[in-house]
Amino acid sequence: MKTKPGIIRTHLRMLSFLFIAMTLIVPLRSQFAAPVATTESTIVLQTDGAPVLPTTAEVVSNELGNQTNPHVQCNSVSYTFDDFQGISTIHYHDMVTGADNVVPGNQVDLLSDISGSRVAYTEVTFTGDTVRIFDTTSQTQTIVPGLKRSNPSIGGNIVAFEDWGISVNAPQVAIYDLNTGTVTPLSNDSLVNFRPTTSPNGDVVVWDKCQAFGVNCAVYAAVETTPGVFTTRALTEMAGRDHLPFTDGVIAVYTSDRSGENDVYFQTLATGAEVRLAIPGDQRRPTVSGDLISFESRDQNDYDIFVYDIRSEKLYRVTNTPLVSETLSEIDVCNGAGRIVYSIPGDGSFDVDAVSFQRPSVVDDQIDDLMSLMGSFNLPPGTTNSLISKLQSARTAIDSSDTATACSYLTAFTNECAAQSGKKLTTDQATQLINSANTIKTSLGCQ
């Protein structure tokens, strides 16, 4: 029978406490804060009056004890379960069947992440923290070699983690490749490198690099350029607190206080173009999936969850829980279905809850915009009517979920624009209409 020494329990409590406290802390302004000039656009948004996103509320676990640090991919959620009796386990939960299972560990397990059938987590041992990966299908464990390694984030075959073995004052970020069994450092300096997040397919890792804990932080990214080879670069300058990054492999999101208060920023990795979401008050914990950015925003005293749609530039309210703050939230969009998991103070202890929702459609807005664009051209009535009727037919097909028919009407629209280019339409008008219609086809997922 396993014993659970008090010293490990204390360590665990401290880690759990630290982890929750770190996310709740009011950010300190850095005395070294300097302007960072990479923001290419600012979008001003208000949480007051934001439309409510229709969602279905789901309970992941509301048992006695603290359920925290949830992570989600499609219908699978992992989280830490501290039973208040000195036992901390990692659970994995199937949101469809409701099946809730425990990762077999030493009962001093915490800080997990989930990808496909695998759950990565931290196991606290006498000799130091270790990172382990449990395969829920084969029920087998993989142990990342080395001690003093913790806080893993898994995507595909790549597990990024914090390596505290070199210096407790200068943790580094490294990855473990489950295919090859090799550990590769992503950082090697005298700075604080921590909180890594891996993209779903393992091709991008982002993390915080700070001059000291919580002081002068930048967001760094390592991008896989050829198989197994990661190239590291700074996404932001090291000033103020640019931190808590997350990536879906295409976009990195993070918060920064460089404008004077915390806002959410996002950056397209391929171009480096950065957008600031200027929202009054404090925002934290941004995550991104399927062009939707989820974050927590403080209204009066408590935090609620909001979603920003990058495609439509619309902001939606997700939760409205006065006096109670959602925390540690994470979004995942899977086959057009979105889910956000979060931890929340329940009846005496933290619980893990979730909401699920349909990804908002942007196609109606795009068709309206295309019709307005066409109206602005003052075309001959016959041309306008012919083109408008194709868009209306496309919209009718979309309303009856007949995407294939909608796509064929949009193709007929672009064909007619091309045929009329230089005739009833100027070549510039034709190009604009074709590009807009092609954007709609992309939104619909036309082949």
Residue 287 near residue 329 (C-beta atoms within 8 A): yes
Residue 336, both tokens: 């057009």
Residue closer to Ca ion (CB basis): 341 or 434: 341
Report the nearest approach of Ca ion to the CB of residue 341 (Å): 14
Residue closer to Ca ion (CB basis): 163 or 263: 263
Residue 121, both tokens: 């987590």
Residue closer to Ca ion (CB basis): 15 or 45: 45
Q: Which residue is nearest to Ca ion (CB)?
A: 349
Residue closer to Ca ion (CB basis): 64 or 404: 64
Report the nearest approach of Ca ion to the CB of residue 261 (Å): 5
Report the nearest approach of Ca ion to the CB of residue 327 (Å): 13
Phi (first) and psi of residue 350, to 5 degrees:
-65, 140
Residue closer to Ca ion (CB basis): 24 or 143: 24
Residue closer to Ca ion (CB basis): 112 or 366: 112
251 by DSSP, 3-state: which?
strand
Report the nearest approach of Ca ion to the CB of residue 45 (Å): 9
Burial 368-388 (b: 16+ CB within 10 A, else e): eebbeebeebebeeebbebbb
Report the nearest approach of Ca ion to the CB of residue 72 (Å): 18
Q: Which residues, including other chains, have CB under 8 Å from residue 177's CB and lie 6 or more apart? A: 157, 158, 184, 228
- DSSP character string of 185-249: ES--SSSEEEEEEE-TTSSEEEEEEEEETTEEEEEEEEEEEETTEEEEEESS-SSSBEEEEEE-S
Report the nearest approach of Ca ion to the CB of residue 61 (Å): 7
Strand order in the sheet with 76-82: 66-73, 76-82, 88-94, 100-102
Whole-number Å distance between alpha carbons of 187 and 298: 33
* Residues of the shown chain interacting with Ca ion in the complex, contacts defined by CB under 5 A: 261, 263, 279, 346, 349, 351
Report the nearest approach of Ca ion to the CB of residue 259 (Å): 8
Q: Which residues, including other chains, have CB under 8 Å from residue 441's CB and lie 6 or more apart? A: 407, 410, 411
Largest CA distance in the chain: 85
Residue closer to Ca ion (CB basis): 59 or 229: 59
Report the nearest approach of Ca ion to the CB of residue 213 (Å): 23
| Beta strand residue intervals within 74-116, DSSP E | 76-82, 88-94, 100-102, 109-115
Report the nearest approach of Ca ion to the CB of residue 15 (Å): 18
Residue 355 near residue 339 (C-beta atoms within 8 A): yes
Residue closer to Ca ion (CB basis): 60 or 363: 60
Residues in the chain, total: 447
Whole-number Å distance between alpha carbons of 187 and 219: 12
Residue closer to Ca ion (CB basis): 47 or 101: 47
